[in-house]
Amino acid sequence: MKKILIMGVMAIGLAFSSCSTVPLTGRSRLNLVSDEQVLPMAFQAYGEFLAENKSVVLPSTNAQAQRVKNIGNRLISAVQNYMNNNGHADLIANYKWEVNVVQSKELNAWCMPGGKIVVYTGILPVTKDDAGLATVMGHEIAHAIAGHSAERMSQQMVAQGIGAAGGVALSKNPKTQSIFNTLYGIGTPLAMLSYGRNQELEADRLGLIFMAMAGYNPQNAISFWQRMSAASQGGQKPPEFLSTHPSDDTRIGRIQNALPEAQKYYKPR
Q: Which residues are catalytic?
A: 140
CA-wise closest residue to 265 among 222, 198, 206, 221: 206
CA atoms within 13 A on the CB side of 145: 31
Q: Is 99 helix (H, G, I), strand (E, B) or coil?
A: strand
DSSP letter (8 states) at residue 120 = E
Whole-number Cα distances in Å, 63 to 47, 60, 97, 101, 104 = 23, 8, 20, 11, 16
For residues 182 and 177, give the distance between their C-alpha atoms in angstroms, rounded to a whole number: 9
In 3-state terms, the chain is what percent helix, strand and coil (to 5)? 60, 10, 30
CB 223 within 8 A of CB 132: yes
